[in-house]
Chain A
Amino acid sequence: EAGVAQSPRYKIIEKRQSVAFWCNPISGHATLYWYQQILGQGPKLLIQFQNNGVVDDSQLPKDRFSAERLKGVDSTLKIQPAKLEDSAVYLCASSFLTRNTEAFFGQGTRLTVV
C-alpha cells in the first residue's frame, strides 16, 4: 500500500514570498490533515478535511494560509505572504475515518523562510 506522498521535501523562500505544498493521501482515506511542526515541538493541526469539506480550521491563520482538497483526494496548502515564523515542517496525514482509525503521515515538507 502506497503511503502519504508530499512534495516538495524542502523549500527555501524569502519572507513575503508565497509557497504551496502538495499532498496525496492514501487511496480510500476520507480524512486528510495538515499539521505544522516547529522544531522541538509536537505537530499542531492547521486544517482537517473530511472528503472535500473542512471539519476543523480553527488554528489556521486564515489571513495568510489557505488549503483546498480537490475532489476529496489531493490537497494543497498555500502560504501567502510567508513570514519568518512560518519556518517549520508541514506534515500531511490521512486516515480512513476520523476518530477511531489510525492516522498515517507523509515525510513532510521542511520550509525555511529567510
Chain B
Amino acid sequence: KQEVTQIPAALSVPEGENLVLNCSFTDSAIYNLQWFRQDPGKGLTSLLLIQSSQREQTSGRLNASLDKSSGRSTLYIAASQPGDSATYLCAVNTNAGKSTFGDGTTLTVKP
C-alpha cells in the first residue's frame, strides 16, 4: 500500500526566502506525481505534474524534482511571497491510476 509523507507539516519563513517542501513515498512504482496548492476553504489548484520518466518540472518560481529510486520529490519555491501562503499537497499516482495524497505542508510567508 502506497504511503505518502510530507515533512515538515508546517513552515514559516520571511518574505524573499527560497524554500523546499518535501514529499516521500514508499512504493517507487509510480506513474506520475502532482503538486497542488490549497487555500483555506478552497479546492486544490494543480501546480506541477511530473511524469515518472522526468527528473524535474518548472513553472515560474516553482520547480519540482522527482527521484523515483529514492521515493522522493521536492517542490522548490524561489523568492517566496506572502501570496504563496497556503497548504501544499503532493499526490502520487500509480500505474493503476490510483492517487494517494500526503497530508500537506502549511506554508506561511511573513511580510
Contacts and interface: CB of A to CB of B under 8 A. Distances in A.
A105 B43 contact: yes
Contact of A107 (B6, B42, B102): B42
Contacts, number: 58
B94 to A, nearest CB: 8
Contacts of A100: 31-32, 51
Interface in B21-47: 31-32, 34, 36, 41-46
A56 B44 CA distance: 21
Contacts of A45: 98-100
Interface string B88-104: 01010101011111111
Interface string B72-107: 000000000000000001010101011111111000
Contact of B32 (A35, A42, A99, A106): A99
Q: Is the interface of B mostly helix, strand, loop or mixed?
A: strand
Contacts of A33: 99
A104 B37 CA distance: 12
Nearest to A107: B43
B35 to A, nearest CB: 11
Contacts of A35: 101
B103 A103 contact: no
Contacts of B97: 31, 48, 55-56, 98-99
A103 B101 contact: no
Interface of A: 4, 31, 33, 35, 40-45, 48, 55-56, 91, 93, 98-108, 110
